[in-house]
Copies of this chain bind each other. A is one copy, B any other.
Amino acid sequence: MSKKEKISQIISRELLQLIESGHYLPGDKLPTEMELSKQFGVSRISVREALSVLRASGLITSRQGGGSYIEENTQSQILRSIHMKSDDVESIRHLFEMRKILEPEAAYLAATRRTTEQLSSMKHVLDKLEYGSLNAEQNHYTNDIAFHRAVILATHNPVMIHMMENLADLYERTLKVTLEPNKELKQKRESVYQEHCRIYEAIELEEPELAKVQSTIHLRNAEKKLSLFLQNYEI
């Protein structure tokens, strides 16, 4: 009754705890399977079973000959459960459709519930974008994501937050497209920045309907850029 737990389960739980406690950090190399089997006093088979679980959960990756490494924060089992080609045009459209549904409402909720801390967090993100506008576009990605993330967090709805976390990496893909470097890049960035500012202002004023409208405008413009890009993309 008591000892029905598999050895590999014990090992994987042990390793999970080491990862979650920060003993192993993202990017770190795990000990080799041999070392782990010595360390835990079990066979390499059991260690491999344990690692297999962590691999399936996306917490580590293993390269033959290389070793096993702690994965970066990778919460997005959605792309595995949906069979979404990463750069599939239809996938991008479907994702954007969800953004159009969720984000204006998130802005609405954020305007009704944001704390002053969350507000200043949003402002901090926007300011960083303004002063560092000469940086590479990589900076723009992370900044754009950070702003939207801040808005989502301000909704105080854990279900909403979880959903958007799940969509985060797919989300990045539409960003990458709408901010695709080309001749009007600077202009695009400026307009995106302005739109973000208007959303921020509405949230600051605690005017939910306005925030919703501004978010909708923002997404409408983003959709224009998106469809423009997708036109050139397919065929």
The interface of chain A, by Cβ under 8 A from chain B, is 48-49, 52-53, 55-57, 75, 77-78, 81-82, 84, 91, 94-95, 97-98, 101-102, 105, 109, 157-160, 162-163, 166-167, 170
Across the interface, which residues of B come within 8 angstroms of A163, CB to CB? 98, 163, 166
Query: Are A101 and B98 in contact, CB atoms less than 8 angstroms apart?
Result: no
A52 and B55 CA atoms in complex are apart in Å by: 10
Query: Are B49 and A94 in contact, CB atoms less than 8 angstroms apart?
Result: no
Query: Are B52 and A159 in contact, CB atoms less than 8 angstroms apart?
Result: no
A181 smallest CB distance to B (angstroms): 27
A35 and B107 CA atoms in complex are apart in Å by: 55
A76 smallest CB distance to B (angstroms): 12
Query: Are A159 and B56 in contact, CB atoms less than 8 angstroms apart?
Result: no
- Name A58's closest neighbour in chain B (CB-CB): B56
> Which of B91, B98, B159 is A97 in contact with, Cβ under 8 Å?
B159
So how many copies of this chain end up in the complex?
2
Beyond known contacts A53-B56, A81-B162, A163-B166: 15 more, CB 8 A cutoff? A48-B49, A49-B52, A52-B52, A52-B56, A75-B81, A77-B77, A78-B162, A82-B158, A82-B162, A84-B158, A94-B160, A95-B159, A97-B109, A98-B160, A101-B105
- Name A90's closest neighbour in chain B (CB-CB): B158
A9 smallest CB distance to B (angstroms): 10
Query: Are A159 and B53 in contact, CB atoms less than 8 angstroms apart?
Result: no
Top 8 A-B residue pairs of the complex, sorted by shortest distance between their CB atoms = A56-B56, A52-B52, A53-B56, A101-B105, A94-B157, A98-B159, A94-B159, A82-B158
Across the interface, which residues of B come within 8 angstroms of A160, CB to CB? 94, 97-98
- Name A108's closest neighbour in chain B (CB-CB): B101
A-B pairs with beta carbons under 8 Å apart, 21 shown? A48-B49, A52-B52, A52-B56, A53-B55, A56-B57, A78-B159, A81-B162, A82-B158, A82-B162, A84-B158, A91-B158, A94-B158, A94-B160, A97-B109, A97-B157, A98-B159, A98-B160, A101-B101, A101-B102, A101-B105, A159-B170
Query: Are B98 and A157 in contact, CB atoms less than 8 angstroms apart?
Result: yes
Across the interface, which residues of B come within 8 angstroms of A109, CB to CB? 97
Across the interface, which residues of B come within 8 angstroms of A53, CB to CB? 52, 55-56
